[in-house]
Amino acid sequence: MFQKMRKKLAIFMVACFAAIASCVSAFAESTGGTASTAVTGAMQTVANDMVATGNAIVPIALTVVGIALVVVFGVRMFKKVAK
């Protein structure tokens, strides 16, 4: 079973790399820069987007986790007091 999944994953990865390579080369040609400049710029943009997304999500996630912890500890405390 693992061998079948491994073969499918290899085919999928080759297809993804081919698609990415074609996009990067087209992007480099349209800007007149080199492929390394295009990749570096794209990776920097991805990194900036990830940081911005993290900054937007962390406060919300901490609030949700905090509420969940309060509920869990509240239920435990109520069960102890109810005995």
C-alpha 83, offset from chain centre: 45
For residue 28, the model assigns a pLDDT of 47
**In the structure, what pLDDT confidence band is assigned to residue 33 with cuts at 50, 70 and 90?**
low
pTM above 0.85, yes or no: no
Going from N- to C-terminal start, the domains of the chain cover: 2-82
CB-based contacts of 31, cutoff 8 Å, min separation 6: 37, 38
Mean pLDDT of 26-45: 72
For residue 79, the model assigns a pLDDT of 92
